[in-house]
Chain A
């Protein structure tokens, strides 16, 4: 038997008030910890995915939707753009590289993205097995796709049209898996990546060509106009020549469409010139992922801040509950305290006992809160896996949670402060005589 055990037994001897304090603390701590984890994970995930992408070009519509669909593959695309237009932009001297993306088909809810080999390169993807696709209808799949769908190298499957289940199945157009990427924590983990040609081949045979032709003719004049604009911006003869080359290629691919193009600028000047140029002079829109995400985070930030505020109030209320519980029981315990003093307990020991009780409740509440937040993370992870394909698998202790622990312990300390002062000032003979 010692003071620590006595504190423990005292806490256990009043299960109702201790329970209330613990529930409040665990709720507050759990909520804040959950928010911290989700926020951190989302930000890391998003920053991981926009690295190397300065601008996204796609059909006109909501810029945020364009970013979400083209970069994160979580929203529906805004529409299609002409490859020739996009390629023309790619030849601008301010553009370091452009990666065309063509998507809209799925297999078992995993998106099939037609692109160039620059796309996996952008995320420094490494192959776990097999090789990259080399011709039409060959695909390389992300780690999560391989794990959840169970498809392996050499397997074939049919894609279905549309981004939700139950879309039209492209019959007789079998994809063949040639490789599987290693897990990277980027969007590609959740994707089936193939060449642009695969997507075109499927839809050429599937969709009537007249629509495309008609559409593309109508855009031809605009296309030329845009090329002229780009050329006007270029002073370099070499680039000019390339532009000519591209024009020839563009004509051979006339009518080809892509969904979006990811663009990296050669210099910060691109940030100033290109978005405006694209938005004003072409039929496409340019969206800046950094800017859109900042907007998104600031919107999310309001919700996060409000929730954190509420959670802190809950923690504070639990601190008050600890205080009230200690203070109320003090009246009946003041005699016990005096008694302990007569049996040889020092003032310091009794003070330690009061603080131990407050801190023990705080610490237990904090641990319960962390457990609660981890349960919440598992729940979110299970919920989101089927929806957004993001893994919440990091259960590590965040540095913010260490601060949270200090705040919680601080509140436990403050809650025991006033009762402790009362105990320190205890008048032995008077207390014993009054009892």
Chain B
């Protein structure tokens, strides 16, 4: 499979991808378009299931090693980092909102966030945790175990986990696919306000066409033969 190349010229780059490819095996080979996302800019990556969206997200997050190409995050080529350096870089620079929220079951919401601060090598900052929870309307759930919360609350917790370390780049994998229209807009608003508040860049990867209207910039991943317009 080959992907059409879509580029946008931007002045200052938070994320820059060049001639990136990845293969699980010889039948599952992906080539990704070159991308650039500026500082404090948002990008929506649209694509159908099975087209390699999540793979792209994992590559950007450093969870997978690409076969070829470069991934520059804040001018740092993460493909050159060793495993341990990558863990550290990811913890301090990237926040990920997963499709389905998951937490450490043994810990309360506040403790989950404190653990993420610790793993991201940030100094323990209970005020920051409380501020994040407050802005997401979760302050009253500080001592509650996250898996006991409602689904809507859990989705907001997932955002809290991603932003608590003030990462420069926030990646969201299908954050709205399980939500109805009303909650969908709400979550996107929250994501945008959280990233904006932290001067971070947001990349959302989704097949959810509802989000298109919410973003200025979007790219579509598609097989090479099918040309898809981008707005």
Contact = CB atoms under 8 A, between A and B. Distances in A.
Interface of A: 1-3, 6, 9-10, 12-13, 332-333, 335-336, 339-349, 428-429, 432-433, 435
Interface in B29-50: none
Contacts of A349: 119
B119 A343 contact: yes
B83 A347 contact: yes
13 contacts: A1-B111, A1-B115, A1-B124, A9-B111, A13-B105, A336-B103, A343-B90, A343-B120, A344-B92, A345-B91, A428-B64, A432-B63, A432-B98
A435 B63 contact: no
A273 to B, nearest CB: 75
Q: Which among B114, B116, B120 has the greatest number of chain A C-beta atoms within 10 A?
A: B116
A339 B61 CA distance: 12
Nearest to B88: A344
B119 A345 contact: yes
A163 to B, nearest CB: 62
Given A1-B117, A2-B118, A346 B105 contact: no
Contact of A12 (B58, B84, B98, B106): B106
B158 to A, nearest CB: 11
Nearest to A6: B115
| Chain B residues touching A, majority SS | helix
B100 A435 contact: yes
Interface of B: 54-55, 58, 61, 63-64, 83-84, 87-88, 90-92, 96, 98, 100, 102-107, 111, 114-121, 124, 161
Contacts of A341: 63, 87
A209 B64 CA distance: 105
A6 B84 contact: no
A6 B106 contact: yes
A361 to B, nearest CB: 14
A340 B120 CA distance: 10
Q: Which among A335, A342, A346, A432 has the greatest number of chain B C-beta atoms within 10 A?
A: A342
A429 B90 CA distance: 14
A125 B92 CA distance: 74
Given A342-B61, A347-B83, A336 B102 contact: yes
